[in-house]
């Protein structure tokens, strides 16, 4: 058991089934504050399921997880977002018909308070908050490097920009843990390099990052520690170099997806 101060997210024997299919079986792992933690595994290994469990989209069937000193077994997505877990989606889920700026402003929802009364009267506090929301949203656009696109509709952005916008939107919720589901998918080499730099910048800003990725090179070059899932089970965990040499991992990749990615 890692002390609370050091451990941010800890999964204890998490299990999840869909009908007869076991998507996650008895998965335990812990993520330390301030690290970039990678989650890899062949297709269908249960990575996205694990993601959906810790972000509240799925309810787990057994086990529990601790986040920032709080235990969760059943929880709604918005409460986990409140607690400090923000995510992006494997298939980008931006608010396609809102501008980039508006997307991030929606991300600020959680950390702002104006209700009906404030919206109607636009009293001083409400106006100040709205100004602050716009300012923060612009800052975040700049932070991820798409400040020129603030008036553009999300769906008109390029693929790489959409990925960045989704990250900016997640950052707007002021997360402790940023969970990214295959952020480099579909990116070209240049975009991937830029993404890597962005993630390092985010970590340097004190945010812990959980990363699912197919691009093993990116994972190995970026992550402090890596866990490998296969058929819903954790088969390895450790620093990238260790994991890379793990016979179980090599077997899983060679047997699983047939490629020598690891």
Q: Does 252 bind other proteins (CB under 8 A)?
A: no
Residues from 173 through 202 that contact other proteins (CB under 8 A): 173
Tell the smallest beta-carbon distance from residue 1 to other proteins (Å): 29
Give the tokens for residue 253.
Answer: 């990749």
Q: Find the binder of other proteins among 155, 201, 217, 245 (CB under 8 A).
A: 155
Candidates 26-34, 94-102, 196-204, 245-253; binding stretch for other proteins (CB under 8 A): 94-102
Q: Does 123 bind other proteins (CB under 8 A)?
A: no
Tell the smallest beta-carbon distance from residue 145 to other proteins (Å): 21
Q: Does 134 bind other proteins (CB under 8 A)?
A: no
Buried b (16+ CB within 10 A) or exposed e, 158-178: eebbbbbbbbbbbbbbebbbb
Nearer to other proteins by C-beta: 113 or 217? 113
Q: Does 152 bind other proteins (CB under 8 A)?
A: no
In the chain, the largest separation of any two C-alpha atoms, in whole Å, equals 65
Q: Does 171 bind other proteins (CB under 8 A)?
A: no
- Mapping DSSP to helix (H, G, I), strand (E, B) and coil, where does residue 68 land? coil
The residue to which tokens 């996650």 are assigned: 24
Beta-strand (E) ranges in 121-251? 177-181, 208-212, 225-230, 233-238
Q: Find the binder of other proteins among 2, 4, 71, 122 (CB under 8 A).
A: 122
CA torsion sign, 144 to 145 to 151 to 156? Answer: negative
Buried b (16+ CB within 10 A) or exposed e, 195-214: bbebbeebbeeebbbbbbbb
Residues 162 and 97: their CA atoms lie apart, in Å, by 13
Q: Does 131 bind other proteins (CB under 8 A)?
A: no
Tell the smallest beta-carbon distance from residue 130 to other proteins (Å): 8
Q: Does 130 bind other proteins (CB under 8 A)?
A: yes
Candidates 124-132, 184-192, 205-213, 229-237; binding stretch for other proteins (CB under 8 A): 124-132
Burial classification of residue 14, based on how many CB atoms lie within 10 Å of its CB (0-12 exposed, 13-18 middle, 19 or more buried): buried
For the chain, how many helices (H) and strands (E)?
Answer: 10, 10
Tell the smallest beta-carbon distance from residue 251 to other proteins (Å): 31
Q: Which residues would be at the binding site for other proteins (CB under 8 A)?
A: 55-57, 76-78, 81-82, 86-87, 89, 91, 93-98, 102, 105-110, 112, 114-116, 118-120, 122, 126, 129-130, 133, 153, 155-156, 169-170, 172-173
């Amino acid at each position: 058991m890692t002390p609370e101060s050091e451990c941010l997210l800890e999964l204890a024997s998490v299990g999840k089934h869909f009908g007869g299919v076991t998507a996650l079986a008895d998965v335990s792992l812990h993520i330390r504050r301030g690290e970039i933690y990678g989650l890899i595994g062949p297709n269908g290994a249960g990575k996205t399921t694990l993601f959906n469990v810790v972000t509240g989209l799925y309810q787990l069937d057994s086990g529990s997880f601790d986040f920032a000193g709080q235990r969760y077994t059943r929880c709604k997505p918005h409460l986990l977002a409140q607690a400090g877990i923000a995510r992006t989606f494997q298939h980008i889920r931006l608010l396609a018909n809102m501008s980039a700026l508006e997307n991030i402003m929606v991300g600020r929802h959680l950390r702002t308070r104006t209700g009906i009364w404030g919206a109607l009267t636009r009293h001083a506090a409400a106006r100040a908050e709205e100004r602050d929301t716009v300012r923060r949203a612009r800052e975040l656009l700049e932070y991820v490097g798409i400040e020129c696109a603030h008036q553009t509709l999300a769906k008109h952005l390029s693929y790489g920009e959409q990925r960045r916008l989704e990250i900016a939107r997640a950052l707007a919720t002021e997360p402790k843990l940023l969970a990214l589901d295959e952020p480099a998918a579909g990116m070209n080499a240049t975009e991937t390099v830029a993404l890597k730099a962005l993630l390092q910048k985010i970590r340097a800003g004190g945010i812990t990052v959980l990363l699912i990725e197919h691009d093993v090179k990116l994972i190995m070059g970026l992550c402090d520690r890596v866990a490998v899932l296969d058929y819903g089970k954790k088969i390895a965990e450790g620093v990238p170099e260790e994991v890379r040499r793990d016979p179980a991992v090599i077997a899983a990749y060679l047997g699983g997806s047939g490629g020598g990615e690891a």
